[in-house]
Amino acid sequence: MILLELFAAFFQIALFSVGGGYAAMPLIRNQVVQVHGWMSMSEFADLLTIAEMTPGPIQLNAATFAGMRVAGVSGALCATLGAVTPSLVLVSLLALVYRRYGNLSVIRGTLGYLRPAVVALIASAGLDVLMLVLFDGQRPAIAHLDVLGAALFALALLLLRRFSPIAVMVACGVLSLAAGLLFGAG
């Protein structure tokens, strides 16, 4: 039964996550943390980190990781298959429609109006993770602020303007490890 639930949850996520992996994060969080309770919010943040670091599409990585966490290899396969199936069907159908009717103004207008919704989904996922990093899932208050997390966030935000994301992730990881070893933080 759990395998069918994994397939159905990630099928539903893939079906409604217009805009790609980052836009799917609020939907994934809803399914794995709130609806099914397969993970805590802290474990979900780990899922995001691993899915981002691992090569490949973030939504598929998240599905595979969540499935593996919940039901082992068979769970990973079911969740991944659930995450892939809607895309295969919908992209094939949309490609046919777009090839035939892509020049119509109603099609171009509809695609243009979906962009703000996609940006909002991505921003929502980013804000959720930021609040988890800064306040460790607690109610936002200055007393609960993780100073190291806030400093690393600000540093990463600045460094991303000049350096590759991989270099910034490595630098933040090294700084976090060093702070943990030196001060018992992180």
Cα–Cα distance measured from residue 30 to residue 13, given in angstroms and rounded to the nearest whole number? 9
Together in a domain, 156 and 133: no
| Same domain flag for 26 and 80 | yes
Residues 18 and 66 in one domain: yes
Considering the domain architecture, whether residues 128 and 176 belong to the same structural domain is answered as no
pTM: 0.61
Query: For residue 33, what are the contacts with CB-CB under 8 A and spacing of at least 6?
Result: 39, 40, 41, 44
Structural domain span for residue 36: 2-138
Per-residue pLDDT of the chain (186 residues; tens, 9 = 90+): 999 999 999 999 998 887 677 778 889 999 999 999 999 988 998 998 888 888 888 899 999 999 999 999 999 999 999 999 998 998 899 889 888 887 888 888 888 888 898 888 888 878 888 888 888 767 777 878 888 889 999 999 999 999 999 999 999 999 989 988 888 754
Contact 36, 101 (CB under 8 A): no
Q: Which of 138, 160, 176 is the last residue of a domain?
A: 138
Q: Which of 35, 89, 87, 38 is nearest to 60 (CA)?
A: 87
Which amino acid is it at 83? A
Q: Are residues 108 and 46 in the same domain?
A: yes
